[in-house]
Structure 1
Amino acid sequence: MSNSQNIYLSISFRSPEISGSLQTIKLHGVPGQELNNGECVLDNEMKKFCMDNIVAKIFRRSLDLNSEFNRLEIWFYNSNTARQKISYFLPEVDERDLLILSNISTSKLKQIYVLDNELEGNELTDWHKEVKSLFKPLFEEFVIMSDNLKSVPLFKGIESVISKGILHYEMKQNLFFDTLMIQVD
């Protein structure tokens, strides 16, 4: 009999930088476990994965861009999973939301939706530029060796070297999402 059940959690991160505007990033749909005693826990490796590949990168980039955003909410989503099978709240996406597609074919992160904040005109144009500058670099964090290269004998040995040099390589190979949905406040 199992001692735990897989669940999806929401976790918040506070910026270590008090000088930046962006102070909080909340992640939704993070795989965790519910223990038999009802306690919900997040594996330390998963927390570190989220911090290293998403949260720290966004906080740092936000500072570099002098972003005015205060708070972000990010939902993990696997587009191969039917929405009705997802056990946590997932926002609806519509034509007003900004879709940013990966321009890196080997990235396991394929798309990012930035949810509409009802801006118009020049404000909307400026907002599009800022969110693309802030979030587009995330695609680089999820690049792994393509399956085509893995079948070439020369690259089979190289993969073991590459996997040791890329932080969280195994988790990236078996990524639980391919889409991010982001609400900016």
Structure 2
Amino acid sequence: MRRCQKVGGTVLSIQDEMENVFVWEHLQAYEGPSKGAWLGMTFNPKGGTLVWHDNTAVNYSNWGQHDTGPSMLSQNSCYWIQSSNGVWRLGSCTNVTMGVICKIPRGRGPPSSLPENTTAIAVVVLSTLALCAMLGIAVYLYKRRRSAERGAFESARYSRTTSNPSESAEKNIRVSDMEMNEQQD
């Protein structure tokens, strides 16, 4: 019972045949070492009836042939659903071979230490990290491109296609001097 309270539920109660079949089918799938699961009911000596843990009357039952007599019911009895056939049985409350099924109201789950909007927080954090990574890559590529351009200009050689007037005059003088020297020879 304490295990179920920790997750915000109660020990299994079965309200009708459809729910009994549902529980029984699931017990068969997970049978393993367990012979069945505890039912969350107790005997009310004042009324001589069985009640669920929320004090509602047990209006549906699926007792085996030998477990139906009122003399069999007592405050010291515990009740369980058998995994092999879905039949309800009386049993010793100290029997450790029974499993526990907790019934939790729809829409509620076990209490969590994480905030309810964990998914939204994770999306925001991951988006921010992705944006920072993209910005980092863009800055890196920009700096790399700028340094490549600077290096290209530093090692480039320029040649002039037009000479300034003094160089042109100097060349003409040299050429004419050479021609004069050749003629004198």
Q: Which has the higher strand share?
A: 1
Please indicate, yes or no, whether the TM-score normalized by the shorter chain is above 0.5: no
Larger Rg: 2
The TM-score range, normalised by the shorter chain, is: under 0.3
